[in-house]
Amino acid sequence: MKYTFSKDFFWGAATSATQSEGRTTTDGKGENIWDYASKKFNDRFYEGVTTASTSRFYEDYQGDLDRLADLSFNSFRTSISWSRLIPEGVGQVNPEAVQFYHNVLDGLNKRGIKPFINLYHFDMPMKMQEIGGFENKAVIKAYCDYAKTCFDLFGDKVSYWFTFNEPMIPAEAGYLHDRHYPYIVDFKRAAQVLHHIVLAHCGAVKVFREGQYSGKIGIIMDVIPVYPRSQNPADLKAAEMADLFYTRSLNDAILKGHYPEKLKVILNQYDQMPEVSTDDLSLIAQTRIDILGINYYRPRRVKARDSLPNTNGVFSPEWFYDNYEMPGRRMNTSRGIEIYPNGLYDIAKKIQNEYGNIDWFVSENGIGIEGEEAFINNGIVEDDYRIKFLEEHLIALHQAIEEGSNCLGYHMWTFVDCWSWQNAFKNRYGFYRMDLHTGKKTIKKSGLWFKNVILNQGFSL
């Protein structure tokens, strides 16, 4: 069976500034929340590894761009570091950062690799966090000014812009589930942050439209498709609620121009509604994107709750469902998450049937494995598990495209093993393995396989 993709399909990988560039401050970079948290709350990070130890893209970007070209990539997603470009978050622009990003973009374009540039990948400048981060509307204005600076400086070199990566995560992980700095557990504050991120996205799109910049603009969403344990009405209701809070709350706002009515009713019922003005809603209603990125790693399986929630505690979406561990599921035990390739097909069909079949691409998909050194043979990581993972997900994607889904490309996470938030280098994700002591980068078997897929516009089984 041969799986062929279009000749203009986007093949590549993704990373982010904080995870690849690191905390290099010799050029005047300002501190962001990850630089701060990985030092101040170091015990929360695997083996205490901070942002100072990343995949060294800042020092070795020319070599990394050559490695991208060696794999025959035609596209590559990374982000601009707000705190590197504008160290205080507002005000003076760092000229050395401007030159660095010009060099990176020129290097990509020279090699025939289209830059997909994201403006915000979890990395709030500390000066902005100190005044409340996205709880403070002044930071929305600062973000939009930062976006305009990027459009003005680099717009002639970038054809695809993205406002945010996984906008749910800064709100949910930082303000409800105690995983990201500032480690707050308060649903109403999380909801306010999420709403303000939506407004920041809309504001940046408005700046882009009004400036009549060339290219396209979109956003990158983390979508976890929800599956009920059974067709029992109670399980179906649990799935509906999980989907409402974690998917439709954002998808409907970004892609349909309004928040779900049912969500508003529930938040008002439990006194959890954030401050939302009519002007806010008008801006959301008027904002449309050109292209959508979808990050997909795992499904969410849920069931009706086995017990009543503790309503004396902090309000949580988990009041309405329990997680369900399906018997027989395939697991990536390194991360403790289920492997379910067909979820990518289901996402594609949802976009096709419920969100106007907008142009989209897989902006992240991949598998992180702990202890990959055990699979090194003759100097190369023989990561057949990653090849199988990619094959299965690409087959699911191919089926959706054959059925009319407007999927334009596939980017794996990630290019070179990178620092990964709390887990640092615990799990390895890249097409290239990086020696943490020497910085040497060695291609894995999956990288060679992926290059062959690109050159052949697909693969056969």
All residues at 6 or more sequence positions from 54 whose CB lies less than 8 Å from its CB, including other chains: 18, 19, 20, 21, 22, 23, 418, 419
> Is 360 within 8 Å of 341 (Cβ atoms)?
no
Tokens linked to 40? 């101040």
The percent of residues in the chain predicted with pLDDT above 70, rounded, is 100
Mean pLDDT of 370-392: 97
Output the average pLDDT for the chain: 96
Neighbours of 156 (CB within 10 A): 13
pLDDT digits (tens, 9 = 90+) for 237-251: 999 999 999 999 999
Mean pLDDT of 193-212: 98
CATH code of the domain covering residue 265: 3.20.20.80
CA dist., res. 344 & res. 14, Å (int) = 17
CA dist., res. 92 & res. 440, Å (int) = 35
Residue 185: per-residue pLDDT: 98
CA dist., res. 450 & res. 446, Å (int) = 6
Please say whether the dihedral angle defined by the alpha carbons of residues 243, 245, 246 and 250, taken in this order, is positive or negative: positive
CA dist., res. 206 & res. 16, Å (int) = 24
Q: Which range is least confidently modeled, 49-63, 120-134, 268-282, 331-345?
A: 49-63
Q: How confident is the model at residue 26 (pLDDT cuts 50, 70, 90)?
A: confident
Residue 251: per-residue pLDDT: 94
Alpha helices, H only, 320-460 = 342-354, 384-402, 445-455
Q: Which amino acids are annotated catalytic? A: 166, 364
Tokens linked to 190? 């999380």
CA dist., res. 201 & res. 206, Å (int) = 9
- Segment holding 415, helix H or strand E: none
Domain that holds residue 425: 2-460
CA dist., res. 199 & res. 165, Å (int) = 15
Neighbours of 313 (CB within 10 A): 9
> Does the pLDDT at position 25 exceed 80?
no
Residue 22: per-residue pLDDT: 79
Residue 223: per-residue pLDDT: 84
Total structural domains within the chain: 1
Tokens 């600062």 -> residue: 142
